[in-house]
Amino acid sequence: MAIKVHGIAVSPYTARVLLCLHEKGLDYELLPVDLASGAHKQHSYLSLNPFGSVPALQDGEVSLFGKMVELNTRSSGGSEMNKLGKVLDVYEERLSKSKYLAGESYSLADMHHIPILVYFMGTAEADAITSRPHVSAWWDDFSSRPATAEVTAKMKL
Ligand SMILES: N[C@@H](CCC(=O)N[C@@H](CS)C(=O)NCC(=O)O)C(=O)O
């Protein structure tokens, strides 16, 4: 029986789940949740994910959902791009030592970044990635994976 994913592919959280399923070659059915009409706050959906967010996953008797996390954005000064640049400098250093973030094999540590990077690469700030040789090669590597291509095609509005 196919795994049911309740969500929408434009949601980065949903896209992460789809990436994992594609990488593992698992059958799934994507059941759209109409966020615009508030379907995710209706009783029927809340029984799948009491946090009222997408995605929610059903595999037979097993149901899984993520938890909404409050992010503290009041940290030290500097623009968001400066902060991102500092993080990417750490990635550049790391990726000069190993092909992927967690070593020589592609893993969830890399996959986790894909949906947000897909959107980020469509902005005027994309050179934050392309100007860093190791980060750029890392992006080129995983963006050419079949699973990434299949899921990013679904992410287009
Ligand atoms: N930590 C959760 C967050 C999910 C989330 O925030 N999803 C957004 C869509 S990208 C959503 O459902 N927003 C509507 C809402 O929370 O009301 C997860 O990983 O599943």
Mean pLDDT across 108-137: 96
For ligand 1, the distance from its centroid to the CA atom of residue 101, given in whole angstroms, is: 25
CA 10 to ligand 1: nearest atom: 10
For ligand 1, the distance from its centroid to the CA atom of residue 38, given in whole angstroms, is: 13
The mean predicted confidence, pLDDT, of the chain is: 92
Domains and CATH numbers, the chain: 3-65 (3.40.30.10), 80-155 (1.20.1050.10)
pLDDT for res 79: 86
pLDDT tens for 97-120 read: 999 999 999 999 999 999 999 999
Mean pLDDT across 117-134: 96
Close Cβ partners of 128 (under 8 Å, ≥ 6 residues apart): 81, 84, 85, 88, 120
* Contact in structure between 129 and 118 (CB atoms under 8 Å): no
Which residue's alpha carbon is at the smallest distance from atom 15 of ligand 1?
53
pLDDT for res 19: 97
What tokens appear for 9 in the block?
A: 């592919």
Mean pLDDT across 61-74: 67
User: Which of 68, 111, 155 for mutating ligand 1's site (highest number of atoms within 8 Å of CB)?
Assistant: 68
User: Residues of 130-157 as b/e, b for ≥16 C-beta within 10 angstroms?
Assistant: eebebbbebbeebeebebbeebbeebee
